[in-house]
């Protein structure tokens, strides 16, 4: 039983790239300078957190949390390159 739980946690923690979840980011924002991409991700996180407070559907909440995780991951990828 414990092994199954550990395997499930590993699968659940995998995070999709933001470009896979957000078409606007994939098509347009990803082509912009790093600073602009970082700002977009920060605004996206704020909007999603606000929407998460009002969402009642469990499935919708899970989708929103995935977007937050992906945007946070994208920001962390952009951080070392923030000078551009």
**36 contacts 29 by C-beta, under 8 angstroms:** yes
The torsion defined by the Cα of 75, 28, 68 and 58, in degrees rounded to 10, comes to: -170
Instruction: Give pTM, 2 decimals.
Output: 0.75
Residue 34 lies in a domain: yes
Residue 9 lies in a domain: no
Tokens 């704020």 found at:
46
Per-residue model confidence as pLDDT tens digits over 43-74: 999 999 999 999 999 999 999 999 999 999 99
How confident is the model over 32-48, as a mean pLDDT?
96
- Which residues contact residue 3 at a Cβ distance below 8 angstroms, ignoring those fewer than 6 apart? none
Q: Domain range for residue 24?
A: 15-81
Based on the structure, what is the number of domains in the chain?
Answer: 1
pLDDT of residue 82: 56
> Is it the case that residue 14 has pLDDT exceeding 60?
yes
Compute the distance between CA of residue 17 and CA of residue 25 in angstroms, rounded to an integer. 10
pLDDT of residue 67: 94
Tokens of 21: 């979840």
């Amino acid at each position: 039983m414990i092994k199954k739980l550990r395997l499930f946690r590993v699968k659940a923690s995998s995070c999709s790239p933001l470009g896979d979840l957000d078409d606007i980011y994939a098509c347009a924002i990803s082509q912009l300078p790093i600073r602009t991409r970082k700002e977009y991700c920060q605004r996206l996180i704020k909007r999603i957190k606000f929407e998460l407070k009002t969402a009642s559907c469990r499935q919708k909440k899970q989708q929103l949390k995935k977007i937050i995780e992906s945007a946070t991951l994208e920001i962390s990828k952009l951080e070392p390159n923030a000078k551009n």
